Amino acid sequence: MDWQIMLKLTFLGGAREVGRAAVHLKDERRGLVLDYGVLLNEQPHFPAYVSPREYDAIVLTHPHLDHSGDAPSLYTTSKKPILGTTLTFEIFRVLIRDELKISRGNLNFGRKEVKKLLRNIVTVNYGAENKVGRWSFYLFSSGHIPGSSYVLVNVGGKRVMYTSDINTINTRLVRGAVIRDVKPDALIIESTYADTDHPPRKELEKEFVVKVLETLADGGVALIPAFSVSRAQEILMILEHFGVTRKYPVYVDGMARIITRIFQDYIDYIAEQGLFLDALKHSKFINDPRMRLKALKEPSVVISPAGMLQGGPVYEYLPYLLDKEESSVFFVGYQIEGTPGRRLLEQKIIELGDKTIRPSLRIEKFDFSSHAGKTQLLEIIEKVKKEDMYVFVVHGEEKKAIGFAEEVSSTFGVNALAPVNGDTFTV
Contact residues toward Zn ion (CB under 5 A) are 64, 66, 165
**How far is the C-alpha of 138 from the C-alpha of 124, rounded, in Å?**
9
- The residue (of 20 and 292) whose beta carbon lies closer to Zn ion is 20
CB of 393 to Zn ion, least distance (A): 14
- The residue (of 60 and 280) whose beta carbon lies closer to Zn ion is 60
CB of 214 to Zn ion, least distance (A): 31
**How far is the C-alpha of 210 from the C-alpha of 244, rounded, in Å?**
10
Length reported for the chain = 427
CB of 67 to Zn ion, least distance (A): 5
- The residue (of 164 and 245) whose beta carbon lies closer to Zn ion is 164
% helix / strand / coil in the chain, to the nearest 5?
35, 25, 45
Closest CA to 61 of 185, 174, 165: 165
**How far is the C-alpha of 23 from the C-alpha of 78, rounded, in Å?**
18
- The residue (of 66 and 205) whose beta carbon lies closer to Zn ion is 66
Main-chain phi, psi angles of 27, to 5 degrees? -100, -160
- The residue (of 292 and 374) whose beta carbon lies closer to Zn ion is 374
Main-chain phi, psi angles of 42, to 5 degrees? -60, -40
* Cross-strand pairs, 137: 130, 153
**400, amino acid identity:** K
CB of 189 to Zn ion, least distance (A): 12
- The residue (of 166 and 221) whose beta carbon lies closer to Zn ion is 166
Please, what is the end-to-end C-alpha distance for the chain in angstroms? Answer: 15
Query: Looking at 127-201, which runs of residues are DSSP E strands?
Result: 130-132, 135-141, 149-155, 158-162, 186-190
CB of 95 to Zn ion, least distance (A): 11
CB-CB contact of 79 with 116 (8 Å): yes
CB-CB contact of 61 with 34 (8 Å): yes
**How far is the C-alpha of 319 from the C-alpha of 311, rounded, in Å?**
12
**How far is the C-alpha of 343 from the C-alpha of 308, rounded, in Å?**
10
- The residue (of 33 and 216) whose beta carbon lies closer to Zn ion is 33
Residues whose CB is less than 8 angstroms from the CB of residue 406 and which lie 6 or more positions away in sequence, other chains included:
416
- The residue (of 64 and 362) whose beta carbon lies closer to Zn ion is 64
CB of 136 to Zn ion, least distance (A): 25
**How far is the C-alpha of 417 from the C-alpha of 395, rounded, in Å?**
13
- The residue (of 63 and 312) whose beta carbon lies closer to Zn ion is 63
CB of 188 to Zn ion, least distance (A): 13
The answer to whether the peptide bond before residue 222 is cis (omega within 30 degrees of 0) is: no
CB-CB contact of 424 with 10 (8 Å): yes
CB of 148 to Zn ion, least distance (A): 7
- The residue (of 17 and 66) whose beta carbon lies closer to Zn ion is 66
**How far is the C-alpha of 54 from the C-alpha of 326, rounded, in Å?**
57
**How far is the C-alpha of 211 from the C-alpha of 67, rounded, in Å?**
33
- The residue (of 24 and 64) whose beta carbon lies closer to Zn ion is 64
CB of 145 to Zn ion, least distance (A): 6
**How far is the C-alpha of 20 from the C-alpha of 45, rounded, in Å?**
7
CB of 305 to Zn ion, least distance (A): 15
CB of 173 to Zn ion, least distance (A): 13
CB-CB contact of 344 with 307 (8 Å): no
